[in-house]
Amino acid sequence: VLKNMTDGVIATDRKGRIILINDPALQLLQLERNETLNRPIISVLGLDQDYDFEDLIHMKDSVNLNFSTHDTPYVLRANFSVIQKESGFVNGLITVLHDITEQEKIEMERREFVANVSHELRTPLTTMRSYLDALADGAWKDENIAPTFLNVTQTETERMIRLVNDLLQLSKMDSQDHQFNKEVVEFNRFFERIIDRFEMSKSQNVEFIRLLPEQTYFVEIDTDKLTQVIDNIISNAMKYSPDGGYIRFGFTVQDTFLKVMISDDGMGIPKENLTRIFDRFYRVDRARARSMGGTGLGLAIAKEMIQAHGGQIWAESEEGQGTTIFFTLPYELEDEVGEWD
Ligand code: ADP
């Protein structure tokens, strides 16, 4: 029974020395049997700094054993029960170990998320408070200053609204109650229209280069959602583009997927941050990105949406040279599209 359990089980004698340990417990503790037998359980579990064996006998709650290193979390939970005779004489201790790393990770992410949201909302609120205080203290009478101050509070309000809308969208996707309105569209035309819109309205000196194939391809997508994803990627590319830079748009076909790319000549992203830019609230340069009005949620939303379409999204970048964002979408074979029409 002990051998085939997934939980780790350890039994000790009345002095707290290990007399039995099953294989899962050895695996969880990453130890060999001869490193554990006859040794005090308190030191095998790494608890000797905080407890003695007597404490474990009276322990009502479980204890978390944290073996995490700087970059890999690893946490076990230990539950203890005493083997006791009716007379009260303690015969030994049974310890059951579970791996709770995943739970801990989720819990940590949740705490971090709440801290991030609070911080992101506090920043614009503090700014607004100081400007409103100044206005209330008499600045409202100054025709030169008052409009500027009001403008700041308006910008900050807009930013908070954007942030809350982004958060609502993420929470909707998390709860899976979002509906996709998928339709089959010609990807070439769909992509071109978005690029056109940016090209018409751009005020910056950046040039657009289109590297789109002649052949048309069809995808089944929620056009509103995909538009939002591409808008976000292009806005970032424009935001970080230098004056006179180029933004290239293209897609190629790989197996059953279209691989879309949007690349810029901007400042780039350091290698170690390339995957993190898709995390919620992650920004490479916090102060700078925030001053550009970003919420830090755009690419996190893009990732959720692309994954919900069965694709993947990632970034490649050379610092100082530029960034390319890639994403894939499964495409429809044309004879299948025929059936849709
Ligand atoms: P934000 O609202 O801050 O733009 P995103 O989720 O869209 O949030 O992007 C996250 C971060 O990734 C940005 O703050 C920025 O640091 C980095 N980033 C995204 N796209 C680019 C790009 N094309 N060039 C350089 N950095 C980028």
pLDDT tier for residue 215 given thresholds of 50, 70 and 90: very high
pLDDT tier for residue 299 given thresholds of 50, 70 and 90: very high
pLDDT tier for residue 175 given thresholds of 50, 70 and 90: confident
Beta strands in the chain (DSSP E): 8-12, 18-21, 63-66, 75-84, 90-99, 182-186, 207-211, 218-222, 246-254, 257-264, 313-318, 322-332
Q: Using CA atoms, how far apart are residues 15 and 40, in angstroms rounded to an integer?
A: 8
Residue 307 in 3-state DSSP? helix
Average pLDDT over residues 281-307: 83
Nearest to 95 by CA among 128, 123, 53: 53
Residue 224 in 3-state DSSP? helix
Instruction: Give pLDDT, residue 178.
Output: 72
Centre of ligand 1 to C-alpha 278, Å, is: 9
What pTM value is reported for the model? Answer: 0.75
Element containing residue 155 per DSSP (H, E)? helix 145-174
Does the beta carbon of 95 lie inside 6 Å of ligand 1?
A: no
Tens of pLDDT, residues 89-132: 889 999 999 999 999 989 988 898 899 899 889 989 999 999 99
- Both tokens assigned to 272: 């170690």
Residue 288 pLDDT greater than 80, yes or no: no
Chain-centre distance of CA 202, in angstroms? 31
The sign of the dihedral angle between the CA atoms of 21, 22, 26, 31 is positive
Instruction: Give pLDDT, residue 142.
Output: 95
Ligand 1 pocket test, pick from 166, 231, 235, 236 with the greatest ligand atom count within 8 Å of Cβ, gives 236
Q: Using CA atoms, how far apart are residues 46 and 67, in angstroms rounded to an integer?
A: 9
Does the beta carbon of 236 lie inside 6 Å of ligand 1?
A: yes
Atom of ligand 1 nearest to the CA of 266: 24
